[in-house]
């Protein structure tokens, strides 16, 4: 089977030469292990961080080894109790056609409840990030005005809709194209949205939220965070979830110039990692599956076909070519 290796550590924006699609032997599963044929794998912004050789909350990818990440596949051989050929599983060995792994590292998923790719997005890691980041980390409450950046992406699109569903007074989103802005308002029901490439974020946010905001869900950092700090009301809260605007930076990036506003407004800016919030998983699945079934919660996926396009899918994600979750599907 083929698998993607990191062969050089990117400096700044990743380049195709930093990656290689290589052939690897497919092995029979050892004791307590399963062999999985991957059907979909996830490409995510956090993977850019794993390409750097720095200590972080998740270890760096090793050069000349297969990269990892969320994947959904079908068990094709099992040497583990409770796992049968034909079962569908969620696991962490993406970026490859076949994965051989301990069964205890795989979670069975039900293909009859949702399209399998949904377990990588709306019903998976990015959906839980939105749910936990809004309800837990930002302590969202009914009547709050919410601003979310990266609003047409996998996390952001869910944050905005979840806030509306739970009684936000106003939901504002920013995204990088006029088509995405239209989608936010017309399909996802945001009250206002703007294209951050069309002008000053601070100015556009002020116009979209004349009475300020109570919650900011940050996926972008940089001038978005600075603008949000200016627009946050007294006792406002920000979930610092991601800062994609700086993931390819080669120099340290400046912090918000207005940080002192945090004092007088008694703001709370809190970082989050989704892995801390797995206790919410049952509640999250129950709520989100219900909202999807009733049509109240919408989601999009951008599906790139073929493992050979895996790197391009990842690069496209960083360039904003996705609407909703970016997925690589393996048409084998
Ligand atoms: P998305 O689906 O949102 O895809 C990334 C999007 O980022 C692109 O579509 C693009 O949209 C936008 N983007 C790229 N560059 C910039 C830029 N310079 N300025 C503004 N927007 C930009 O990805 P996810 O939903 O998976 O992730 C969203 C954020 O959440 C990321 O920052 C990610 O790291 C973070 N995250 C954090 C987790 C945690 O546990 N803390 C867990 C999961 C995600 P556009 O066209 O609008 O520019």
pLDDT in tens, 137-148: 999 999 999 999
Domain identity same for 143 and 59: no
Give residue 204 CA to ligand 1 midpoint distance, Å.
Answer: 20
Whole-number percent of the chain with pLDDT over 70: 100
| pLDDT over 70 at 214, yes or no | yes
Which residue from 296, 313, 293, 314 is spatially nearest to 305, judged by alpha carbons? 313
Q: Return the half-sphere exposure (C-beta side, CA atoms, 13 A cut-off) of residue 232.
A: 30
Same domain membership, residue 101 and residue 167? no
Query: How close is the Cα of 220 to the center of ligand 1, in Å?
Result: 6
Q: Are residues 166 and 219 in the same domain?
A: yes
How many separate domains does the chain show? Answer: 2
| Mean pLDDT, residues 30-57 | 97
Same domain, 52 and 192: no
Domain contains 295: no
- Hey, whose CA ends up nearest to atom 43 of ligand 1? 126
**pLDDT given at position 325:** 98
CA 310 to chain centre: 17
Cα(35) to ligand 1 centroid in Å equals 32
pLDDT confidence bin for 332, thresholds 50/70/90: low
- Mutation probe of ligand 1 site: the residue of 242, 271, 318, 323 with most atoms within 8 A of C-beta: 242
For residue 123, name the pLDDT band (cuts at 50, 70, 90): very high
pLDDT, tens digit (0-9, with 9 covering 90-100), for 241-295:
999 999 999 999 999 999 999 999 999 999 999 999 999 999 999 999 999 999 9
Atom of ligand 1 nearest to the CA of 196: 20
Q: Which of 195, 320, 323 to mutate to test the pocket of ligand 1 (most atoms within 8 A of CB)?
A: 320
How many angstroms is it from 86 CA to the middle of ligand 1?
A: 34
CATH code: domain of residue 85: 3.90.180.10
Identify whether residues 134 and 268 lie together within a single domain. yes
Distance CA 143, CA 161 (A): 14
Rounded CA gap, 118 and 206, in Å?
Answer: 35
At 254, phi and psi to the nearest 5?
Answer: -65, 145
Give the strand pairing for 19-23 and 2-6: antiparallel
Q: What percentage of the chain exceeds 90 in pLDDT?
A: 99
Q: Do 8 and 22 belong together in one domain? A: yes
User: What string of DSSP letters covers 83-134?
Assistant: --TT-EEEESB-SBSEEEEEGGG-EEE-TTTS-GGGGGTTTSHHHHHHHIII
Q: How many angstroms is it from 76 CA to the middle of ligand 1?
A: 34
Query: Tens of pLDDT along 184-207?
Result: 999 999 999 999 999 999 999 999
Instruction: Please tell me the distance between residue 30's alpha carbon and the centre of ligand 1 in angstroms.
Output: 38
Shared domain check, 160 and 243? yes
Of the candidates 182, 121, 142, the residue with the CA atom closest to the CA atom of residue 317: 121
Contact 87, 17 (CB under 8 A): no
Q: How confident is the model at residue 331 (pLDDT cuts 50, 70, 90)?
A: confident
Looking at the fold, whether 226 and 256 belong to one and the same domain comes out as yes
Q: Quick check: helix, strand or coil at residue 223?
A: helix
Q: In which domain, by residue range, is 105 found? A: 2-121+300-329
Mean pLDDT of 32-59: 96
Q: Which residues have any ligand 1 atom within 6 Å of their CB?
A: 44-46, 126, 129, 150, 152-156, 175-177, 180, 219-220, 241-242, 244-245, 272-274, 317-318, 320, 322
Q: Which two tokens stand for residue 124?
A: 């998976």
Half-sphere exposure of 179 (CA within 13 A, CB side): 6
**The predicted structure's pLDDT at residue 265:** 98
Q: 107 and 45 in one domain?
A: yes
CB 155 within 8 A of CB 239: no
CB 297 within 8 A of CB 276: no
pLDDT digits (tens, 9 = 90+) for 159-189: 999 999 999 999 999 999 999 999 999 999 9
Angle between helices 201-208 and 222-231 (to 10 degrees): 40
Instruction: Tell me how far the alpha carbon of residue 299 lies from the centroid of ligand 1, in angstroms.
Output: 15
Return the CATH number at 166: 3.40.50.720
Is there a single domain that holds both residue 219 and residue 317?
Answer: no
Looking at this predicted complex, what is its ipTM? 0.99
Give yes or no: residues 149 and 176 share one domain: yes
- Domain assignment present for 232: yes
């Amino acid at each position: 089977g083929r698998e993607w290796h990191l062969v050089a550590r990117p400096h700044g924006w990743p380049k195709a030469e930093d990656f290689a699609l290589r052939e690897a032997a497919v092995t029979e599963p050892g004791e307590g292990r399963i062999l999985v044929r991957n059907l979909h794998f996830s490409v995510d912004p956090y993977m850019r961080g794993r390409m750097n050789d720095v200590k972080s909350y998740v270890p760096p990818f090793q050069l000349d080894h297969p990269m990892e990440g969320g994947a959904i596949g079908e068990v094709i051989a099992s040497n583990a109790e409770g796992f049968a050929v034909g079962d569908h599983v969620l696991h962490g060995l993406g970026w490859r056609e076949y994965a051989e792994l301990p069964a205890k590292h795989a979670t069975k998923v039900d293909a009859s409840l949702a399209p399998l790719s949904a377990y990588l997005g709306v019903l998976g890691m990015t959906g839980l990030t939105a749910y936990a980041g809004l309800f837990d980390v930002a302590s969202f409450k009914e009547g709050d005005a919410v601003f979310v950046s990266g609003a047409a992406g996998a996390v952001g699109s869910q944050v905005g809709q979840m806030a509306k569903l739970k009684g936000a007074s106003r939901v504002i989103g920013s995204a990088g194209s006029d088509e995405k802005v239209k989608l936010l308002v017309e399909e996802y029901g945001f009250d206002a949205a703007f294209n951050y490439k069309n002008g000053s974020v601070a100015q556009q946010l002020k116009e979209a939220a004349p009475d300020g905001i109570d919650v900011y869900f940050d996926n972008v950092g940089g001038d978005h965070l600075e603008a949000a700090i200016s627009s946050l009301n007294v006792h406002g809260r920000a979930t610092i979830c991601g800062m994609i605007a700086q993931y390819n930076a080669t120099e340290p990036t400046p912090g918000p110039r207005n940080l002192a506003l945090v004092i007088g407004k008694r703001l709370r800016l809190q970082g989050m990692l989704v892995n801390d919030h797995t206790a919410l998983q049952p509640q999250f699945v129950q709520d989100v599956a219900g909202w999807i079934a009733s049509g109240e919660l919408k989601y999009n996926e951008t599906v790139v076909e073929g493992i050979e396009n895996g790197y391009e899918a990842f690069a496209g994600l960083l360039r904003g070519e996705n609407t909703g979750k970016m997925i690589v599907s393996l048409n084998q």
